[in-house]
């Protein structure tokens, strides 16, 4: 057994949700958004799911656990904000539509400073985002996990009571392998997979409406079916999306690509 497998075995045998939430927090459902690698749109999907649930009237939060590559503040256009500390803990920053967000950026003096910490320090920061942030009452908290299926996401599953996982992939990625890794990790951690999002899946010509699979035919349905995942969405590569994320206006997106995910989350127990 490799060191990694051994570690996973130990942690799965002894699930440790010992990180106590802040006394002022009551978080009903925690959804982890996971990807096989960076740059596939994990933060985008996190932000869009949070926006959808917030629009439906639920108290919504985003915990940016991608400590070395935090992009949630920029997507929501709050990257210049600083988190305020009160006696009870750290107060999350509110987005324009009222989503509560915590990111390492809000604690750095300069948001462009690189975070060059090692694993244990990063894990400590994520735990503190759970224990020291005054989240208040939250119906849905979305966790933008660090990319991959290694140590960093593992730490989060050990520390936070994650209720479900959304997997984000791109069509170029070895989808089947990524899904299988995520499924294995989820099984070991006893967390259900809610569904898979294939981002940058196709491009629709703005002039003629023709849909092109830029990276070849999608295999996402097959990969999902193989692991018994019935919820799949495909997001197009769309310049309007990059414009909204660049301008920090993701809360204005107006597409129904992830509506089926919001419907599923709405019936989730919490």
Ligand X SMILES: Nc1ncnc2c1ncn2[C@@H]1O[C@H](COP(=O)(O)OP(=O)(O)O)[C@@H](O)[C@H]1O
- Which residues make up the interface to ligand X (CB under 6 A)? 35, 38-44, 71, 199-200, 235, 237-238, 241-242, 245
Residue 146, token pair as written in the block: 């660090």
| Identity of the residue, 129 or 253, whose beta carbon is nearer to ligand X in the bound complex | 253
- Interface positions, 90-149, toward Mg ion (CB under 5 A): none
**Cα three-residue angle 257-261-266, rounded to 5 degrees:** 135
Q: Does 71 bind Mg ion (CB under 5 A)?
A: yes
* Residue 25 engages Mg ion in binding (rule: CB under 5 A): no
How many angstroms separate the CA atoms of 71 and 64, rounded? 8
- Enumerate residues 6+ apart whose C-beta is below 8 A from 9: 1, 188
- CA distance linking residue 104 with residue 128, whole number of Å: 11
Angle between helix axes 42-55 and 239-246 (nearest 10 degrees) is 80
CA nearest neighbour of 51 among 215, 246, 267, 244? 244
Question: What is the smallest separation between the CB atom of 87 and Mg ion, expressed in angstroms?
Answer: 32
Write each residue from 39 to 58 as x if it is in contact with Mg ion (CB under 5 A), else as -, in one continuous string.
----x---------------
Q: State the nearest-atom distance from the C-beta of 235 to ligand X, in Å.
A: 5
User: Smallest distance from the beta carbon of 44 to ligand X, in angstroms?
Assistant: 3
| Nearer to ligand X among residue 91 and residue 196 (C-beta) | 196
- 245 counts as binding Mg ion under rule CB under 5 A: no
Could you list the residues that contact Mg ion (CB under 5 A)? 43, 71
């Amino acid at each position: 057994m490799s060191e990694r497998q051994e570690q996973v075995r130990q942690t799965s045998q002894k699930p440790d949700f010992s990180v106590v939430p802040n006394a002022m927090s009551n978080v009903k459902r925690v959804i982890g958004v996971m990807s096989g690698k960076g740059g596939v749109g994990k933060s985008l999907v996190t932000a869009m799911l949070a926006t959808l649930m917030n629009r439906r009237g639920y108290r919504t939060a985003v915990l940016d656990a991608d400590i070395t590559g935090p992009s949630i503040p920029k997507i929501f256009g709050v990257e210049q904000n600083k988190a305020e500390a009160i006696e009870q803990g750290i107060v999350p920053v509110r987005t324009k539509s009222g989503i509560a967000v915590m990111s390492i950026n809000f604690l750095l003096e300069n948001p462009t400073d690189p975070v060059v910490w090692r694993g244990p320090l990063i894990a400590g920061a994520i735990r503190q985002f759970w224990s020291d942030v005054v989240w208040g009452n939250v119906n849905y908290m979305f966790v933008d996990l660090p990319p991959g299926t290694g140590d960093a996401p593992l730490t989060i599953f050990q520390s936070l009571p994650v209720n479900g996982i959304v997997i984000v992939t791109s069509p170029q990625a070895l989808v089947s392998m990524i899904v299988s890794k995520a499924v294995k990790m989820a099984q070991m951690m006893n967390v259900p997979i809610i569904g898979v999002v294939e981002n940058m899946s196709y491009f629709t010509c703005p002039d003629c409406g023709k849909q092109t699979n830029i990276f070849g035919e999608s295999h996402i349905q097959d990969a999902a079916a193989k692991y018994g995942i019935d919820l799949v969405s495909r997001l197009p590569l769309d310049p309007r999306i990059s414009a909204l994320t660049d301008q920090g206006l993701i809360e204005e997106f107006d597409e129904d690509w992830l509506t089926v995910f919001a419907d599923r989350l709405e019936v989730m127990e919490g």
